[in-house]
Chain A
Amino acid sequence: MTVIIGLEIHCQLNTRSKMFCGCAAGYQDSEPNTHVCPVCLGLPGSLPGINRTAVMYALKVAKALDCEVPPESEFSRKNYFYPDLPKGFQITQYDKPLAVRGSLLIDGEDGEKAVRITRVHMEEDPGRLVHMGGGDRPRYTLVDYNRSGIPLIEIVTEPDLRSPKEARKFLNKLRATLEYLGVFDSDREGSIRVDANISMEGHARVEIKNISSYKGVEKALTFEVTRQKNAIRRGVKIERETRHFVEARGVTTSSRSKEEENDYRYFPEPDLPPLRVSGWVEDIELPELPDARRQRFIDQYACSPEHARTLTGGIRLAGFYEEVAPVDPPLAATWVADVLLGELSYRDMGIDSVPVHVFRELLEILRAGTITDKNGVDVLRTLLDQVRERQECESPAACIVRLDLGKKAGGEIDRIINTVVRSNPGAVSDVKAGKKGAVHFLVGQVMKETRGRADPAELNRLLLEEIDRLEG
């Protein structure tokens, strides 16, 4: 059964001021209703004025997504009542969007594929409702208009995605692209919201509204695939409907409430003249985008294609890699992509929290070979735990000395090997009989004695030599 998915992604643009007024757009850490004015409060008589930077940001996105920008686009009013919507309508774009017909390359399930972009348009964010008194029946609800008027772009794809995983990959690629353009801050709470349309080929389409996290999109779609496939298998008709994703339970629920059925009565916004900005596009110089940077990582640092893809997946990660790569590009690629990212994810930490000079020093030590890989990981874990607890850490060298994790000098290792071989005659005769497992046992014993400070490959060789020597 072919799965058909299309996405509508709303992203907040990280402009300094709002879409239609001069209020500061950075509201996350502010007291409620402190970044407001007559315009974003929708006071009677106020008029919207277009933020040119927001238009420029949206055009950057359009250009990066290889869209056409028609000579004229238009703002429209989307009319509906809701307490977070101060004017009783949202200024958005309807039948004349800013940009149309673009595409974005992703690594799909069957290799690279182009996902077609239907349109990119601009709109304003509504305010935010804060339900007080908890649970399903809040005692009362407060409205914070700091978010009201934050510039958004809506990016709509064609139904080109074939699995929840592809949808996630598309979102990751889109996020990286927006970050590279410098128009979007993915760390900002609520900075991205997704509506997903999903159907099984030949069956009705279901819309899942307002998913507010990247992981949520894949979860919600995965749930829907299972639900729809099961329904079809049981012969139940799929209803065309809107569903909501309940993040906490990982399920979607039907929302067939009459109150939510709207006729938005779109019409052109009389307060804003048509936008004629296609001429601006030519002058936009795009920065290096993820695909170009990935290729450069392969060319310049000899990264493997997989490492290059991982390392360019976020602009901060890519920047971090380029700062530590000079130590030893392949070593740095392995340690950042295969070790560091996992450790960060496990601790729910971001790449920003890793001090570059600390990681560089660790890479230098690893390259010099004065510490084993295993103990290198231990050092990294120790340092990350320190950062998480107190936003700073000791130097790798100090950590190695403190925990005595340096490689053992030859004489000490020889002594331990000698002891282990002598006290395990059974294992030694097994080795002589050609049993490979016995060598591993002996290696393990030595490792235990040295508390991991020996190189396992090296140990293997030394052990066999010692056993040979005993025979002779």
Chain B
Amino acid sequence: MDQVFRFEPKDRYNAFITTRNDVPFGEGSLSGIPLAVKDNISTAGIPTTCGSAILEGYIPPYDAHVISCILREGCALVGKTNMDEFGMGTTTENSAFGPTLNPADISRVPGGSSGGSAAAVAAGMVPIALGTDTGGSIRCPSAFCGIVGMKPTYGRVSRYGLVAYANSLELIGPMARSVQDVSLLLKVISAYDPRDATMTDRPYLHTPAAKVAGCRIGVPEEFFGSGVDPKVASVVWDAIERLEGMGAEIVTCRMPSMAYALAAYYVICMSEASSNLARFDGVRYGPPADTRKTWHESYSDRRGTGFGAEVRRRIMLGTFALSSGYYGKYYAKAQAARQMVRDDFQRLFSEVDLLAGPTMPTVAFRLGEKTDPLSMYLSDILTVPANLAGIPAISIPCGEVEGMPVGLQIMGPRFHDENVIDAAFAYELEGRS
């Protein structure tokens, strides 16, 4: 690494938590390309905050697997991007480092939780970035900021080094301004890593080919339900018709499990979060626990002040859902509902090759618009099904509503990331011509 990339961004959108100015880079397929990394992916020697005050001062002694992958390909890791604390949010407003603004309209949120990565790409500060997606955290900000973002098949990218929020749902994925760049970055980060026991050794080695003719694309009616802004729905229908015009066969279908998906998602992610976030106790890293107090007093203090309100809420709800006497009522039921979602997708993918619909029910919210948590949670309804089933899903820009970008979401069966990419690539090329 003897070459240096000079990075001097004008970060008007508060996209970054940490930036580096003189960034070394090497040879490889990403040689010299400035790349931004969401701040919940561990980077040796570079602070990794997860957007939280509780990790202040924590510098990981090791690189996440995906970081080793991108550095091996010569990229210039220019900085760590802002996010909702531990990924818990849909707006990037829940950050201890202040909200990120949407480059398309600075009075609006960029979406979340990978809002910093999306804004950095959308504003042209970097061409590619890494985000993470637990229930839509890559696809939502990609849609809101007008870029391409993909959540790969669960098991296709190593989670080693990703600070866990909800392990069974989340994955690291690529964000960029083009499908080709998304594909290139996915190729780099999908190298097999035995340290993640949930990973499958099926690296993505694909080069995108615009291929959508003859493809059967299902459109679940539930993706155009009552919560979806009619103007957004209309833009997305136009996009779907464009796919039809390119030779795809469009069929409408039903996905009844959508009625339970959101509830199941929130019970599972909060339950897992309550356990994953137990380690932030001030004993080993972050601002230290007060050793003059008893250990449980200092734990309470540390966790009570170190975590933000949304994180505390989710930890408490998750703790409750796993409690003896309530486990069967919440966690076990959520797992049953999750299985229904999987079964629905399996049935649908026996009939169609891909599924399409809007990524988000609306365009980007105004800053501070969503004040009650429940209405915020409801906006994840279209993205969480892919996480519950572990299937690949991409969001690509497909038009605008009142000047704000709208995302088209394309989903495929597990380990058919290639087909998802190809359809998105075909759509993207068609749009340019």
Q: Which residues of A contact B (CB under 8 A)?
A: 38, 41-50, 77, 79, 81-83, 86-89, 140, 143, 259, 263, 265-267, 270-273
Contact = CB atoms under 8 A, between A and B. Distances in A.
Nearest to A75: B197
Task: Please give me the 3 A-B residue pairs with the lowest Cβ-Cβ distance, nearest first.
Answer: A88-B278, A265-B322, A270-B167
A33 to B, nearest CB: 10
20 contacts: A38-B61, A43-B284, A44-B48, A44-B279, A45-B60, A45-B161, A45-B163, A46-B160, A79-B275, A86-B284, A87-B279, A88-B275, A140-B291, A263-B324, A265-B319, A265-B323, A270-B198, A271-B167, A271-B198, A273-B198
A270 B164 CA distance: 11
Contacts of A86: 279, 283-284
Nearest to B160: A47
Given A43-B61, A45-B161, A79 B196 contact: no
Given A47-B159, A79-B322, A265-B322, A42 B197 contact: no
Contacts of A88: 275, 277-279, 281
B271 A44 contact: no
Contacts of B265: none
A87 B163 CA distance: 12
A89 B275 contact: yes
Given A88-B275, A88-B278, A45 B164 contact: yes
B299 A81 contact: yes
Nearest to B323: A263
Q: Which of B62, B166, B275, B295 has the most CB of A within 10 A?
A: B275
A43 B60 contact: yes
A81 B281 contact: yes
A81 B198 CA distance: 26
Given A263-B324, A267-B322, A45 B64 contact: yes
Given A81-B281, A267-B275, 16 more contacts: A43-B61, A44-B50, A44-B163, A44-B279, A45-B161, A47-B159, A47-B196, A49-B197, A79-B274, A81-B278, A81-B296, A87-B278, A89-B275, A265-B322, A266-B322, A267-B327
B102 interface: no
A82 B196 CA distance: 26
Contacts of A50: 197
Interface string B238-256: 0000000000000000000
Interface string B392-414: 00000000000000000000000
B230 interface: no
User: Chain A binding site: helix, strand, loop or mixed by DSSP?
Assistant: loop
A45 B285 CA distance: 13
A430 to B, nearest CB: 78
B281 to A, nearest CB: 7
Nearest to A271: B167
A135 to B, nearest CB: 17
Given A143-B283, A265-B275, A44 B58 contact: yes
A259 B296 CA distance: 9
A50 to B, nearest CB: 7
Q: Which of B167, B283, B295, B319 has the most CB of A within 10 A?
A: B283
B160 A41 contact: no
Contact of A272 (B41, B62, B197, B277): B197
B42 interface: yes
Contacts, number: 105
Given A81-B281, A83-B283, A265-B324, A49 B275 contact: no
A270 B331 CA distance: 13
Contacts of B42: 43-45
Contacts of B281: 81, 83, 88
A41 B331 CA distance: 28
Interface in B142-197: 159-164, 166-168, 194-197
Interface string B278-292: 111101110000010
B55 interface: yes
B417 interface: no
A195 B40 CA distance: 40
Interface in B321-339: 322-324, 327, 331
B195 A49 contact: yes
A89 B322 contact: no
B73 interface: no
A79 B194 contact: no
B272 interface: yes
Nearest to A81: B299
A273 B324 CA distance: 24
Nearest to A38: B62
Interface string B60-92: 111010000000000000000000000000000
Contacts of A79: 274-275, 278, 322
Contact of B62 (A42, A43, A267): A43
A357 B195 CA distance: 49
B102 to A, nearest CB: 28
Q: Which of A50, A265, A266, A273 has the most CB of B within 10 A?
A: A265
Contacts of B64: 45
Given A44-B60, A45-B161, A270-B167, A83 B275 contact: no
Contacts of B55: 44
Contacts of A267: 271-272, 275, 322, 327, 331
Contacts of A143: 283
Nearest to A82: B295
Q: Which of A38, A48, A270 has the most CB of B within 10 A?
A: A270
A82 B289 CA distance: 13
Contacts of A42: 279, 284
Q: Which of A45, A48, A267, A273 has the most CB of B within 10 A?
A: A45
Nearest to A264: B324
A83 B327 CA distance: 26
